[in-house]
């Protein structure tokens, strides 16, 4: 049995008054546990909060893996196109144009990947929602928009290093090495 009691004082004062009142009744104090309402709410919502913390941790780890993967792929692609970038610089392209070239190339690849990923995520979330039978809003526009924006931003941030490194190439050394 659960009994909710509202007191005029603070939680500790109400607890003391309840304990004093219960101590005067014979055998009514057996198995009685007095806790504040906030403690009961905290105990009841702990599993959801723990799942939320774990999901956030896993999401952060996934974002870190995404950044690492994008950085690696863009570094590899820039290294493969070193000759082309050297020719562009030799023909008069500014460093800003080279950075813009690398970032736009990365943004195009990221947009394709995010588009395919969002499409697959919509289908899979619909499938899992029907399988689990839970009341999930699978068409949460805000969640999808924020996740797409986060991945696109992560792609641009991860591409900044290789893009800035590519604009520091010496065109003569690049052309001589081939």
pTM, entire model? 0.64
Q: Is 102 a member of any domain? A: yes
60 and 130 inside one domain: yes
Q: Is 90 a member of any domain? A: yes
> Which tokens in the block code for residue 68?
């690492």
50: Cβ contacts below 8 Å, ≥ 6 apart = none
Average pLDDT, the chain: 83
Structural domains in the chain (count): 2
Are 106 and 159 spatial neighbours (Cβ–Cβ below 8 Å)?
Answer: yes
**What is the extent of the structural domain holding 22?**
1-34
Distance CA 42, CA 1 (A): 19
Percentage of residues in the chain having pLDDT higher than 70: 92
Q: Is 40 a member of any domain? A: no
> Which tokens in the block code for residue 3?
């009994």
Distance CA 138, CA 92 (A): 50
Alpha helices in 26-140 (DSSP H): 37-80, 82-90, 95-132
Q: Tokens 């813009």 sit at which residue?
A: 100
Query: What pLDDT band is residue 153 in, cutting at 50, 70 and 90?
Result: confident
Are 110 and 152 spatial neighbours (Cβ–Cβ below 8 Å)?
Answer: yes
Q: What is the pLDDT of residues 41-78, one digit of tens each?
A: 888 899 889 998 999 999 899 888 988 888 898 889 88
Residue 178 has pLDDT above 70, yes or no: no
134 and 169 inside one domain: yes
63 and 113 inside one domain: yes
């Amino acid at each position: 049995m659960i009994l909710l009691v509202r007191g005029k004082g603070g939680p500790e004062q109400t607890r003391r008054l309840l304990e004093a009142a219960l101590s005067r009744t014979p055998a009514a104090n057996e198995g009685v546990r007095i806790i504040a309402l906030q403690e009961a709410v905290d105990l009841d919502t702990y599993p959801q909060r723990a799942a939320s913390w774990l999901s956030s941790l896993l999401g952060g780890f996934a974002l870190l893996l995404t950044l690492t993967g994008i950085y690696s792929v863009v570094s590899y692609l820039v290294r493969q196109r070193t000759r082309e970038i050297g020719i562009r610089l030799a023909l008069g392209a500014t460093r800003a144009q080279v950075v813009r070239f690398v970032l736009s190339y990365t943004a195009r690849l990221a947009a394709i990947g995010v588009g395919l990923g969002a499409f697959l995520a919509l289908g899979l979330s619909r499938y899992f929602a029907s399988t689990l039978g839970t009341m999930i809003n699978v068409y949460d526009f805000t969640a999808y928009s924020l996740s797409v924006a986060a991945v696109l931003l992560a792609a641009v941030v991860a591409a900044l290093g290789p893009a800035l490194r590519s604009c520091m190439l010496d065109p003569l050394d690049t052309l001589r090495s081939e």
